Amino acid sequence: MKHIPRKRFGQHFLSDTGIIDAIVRAIAPAPGDPMVEIGPGLAALTQPLVERLGRLTVIELDRDLAARLRGHGQLDVVESDVLKVDFTALAQRLGAPRLRIVGNLPYNISTPILFHLLAHVHVVQDQHFMLQKEVIDRMVAEPATAAYGRLSVMLQWRYAMEDVLFVPPESFDPPPRVDSAVVRMAPHAVPAPLDVAVLEELVQVAFSQRRKLLRHTLGRWLEQRGFAGDFDTQRRAEEVPVADFVALAQQCS
């Protein structure tokens, strides 16, 4: 029976074999890799991956699709909302120190998924995700550009990221109304030690009014905390490099 894509799950199924091959080459799966796929859908990417891996763990929320996937002898199916999956516990269950995570992420919750995984980054070897092109542009953005913002800072602090492949709408069924792309995310081996909650709060405050100078937003936040260090608040948030935000978070932690 043909599966009807469900809007509430943001389902757009990859159907272009050329794009699928290019994604698999970018991921470069090797036999035995402890890999987890988020949102396998109709298994367009799942099948070529598992053929190279031997075994694959998949996370699928749609119960009809999960039932189909359970019929595949080489898949371990986790039927769940990905935002409720404990990836640290999953790595332990699979006996893997680090996971390789891949997926065509639902565009309506892609950012929450990225932040959920950030909390489990210590068990991640690498991540390859298909996302809305606009989101990836924000993830990899440089300072002093319109795309640079909270997402750029929070992810670049912890990952080296690369936009590896453009994916047009016609590669999907049904076609989304936006362009897509594939991003590679590799955790930094030695990340700057800091209190993540502090970095998240100060970055959120800084970008809350991005057109204003930081003295109107982050400057007041620092004053309230009794900050006595040196930080130039005569800049806009988009002008501040990731390293400066990280250094400030370290001083405030």
Under a CB-based contact definition with an 8 Å cutoff, are residues 104 and 45 in contact? yes
The answer to the question of whether 104 is labelled as a binding residue is yes
- In this structure, what is the dihedral angle of CA atoms 145, 149, 153, 154, given to the nearest 10 degrees? -150
Nearest to 40 by CA among 100, 86, 104: 104
The answer to the question of whether 14 is labelled as a binding residue is yes
The answer to the question of whether 81 is labelled as a binding residue is yes
The answer to the question of whether 188 is labelled as a binding residue is no
49-82 b/e (C-beta count within 10 Å ≥ 16 → b): bbeebeebbbbbbbeebbebbeebeebbbbeeeb
Under a CB-based contact definition with an 8 Å cutoff, are residues 175 and 169 in contact? yes
Under a CB-based contact definition with an 8 Å cutoff, are residues 134 and 181 in contact? no
Q: Which residue has the tokens 């997402």?
A: 151
Element (H or E) spanning 198, and its range? helix 196-206
Q: By CB neighbour count within 10 A (0-12 exposed, 13-18 middle, 19+ buried), where does 164 fall?
A: middle
Q: Where are the beta strands (DSSP E) in the chain?
A: 13-14, 35-38, 56-60, 75-79, 99-104, 124-132, 159-167, 172-173, 180-187
The answer to the question of whether 108 is labelled as a binding residue is no
Distance CA 217, CA 214 (A): 5
Task: Summarize the annotated binding site as residue ranges.
Answer: 12, 14, 39, 60, 81, 104
Task: Summarize the annotated binding site for S-adenosyl-L-methionine as residue ranges.
Answer: 12, 14, 39, 60, 81, 104
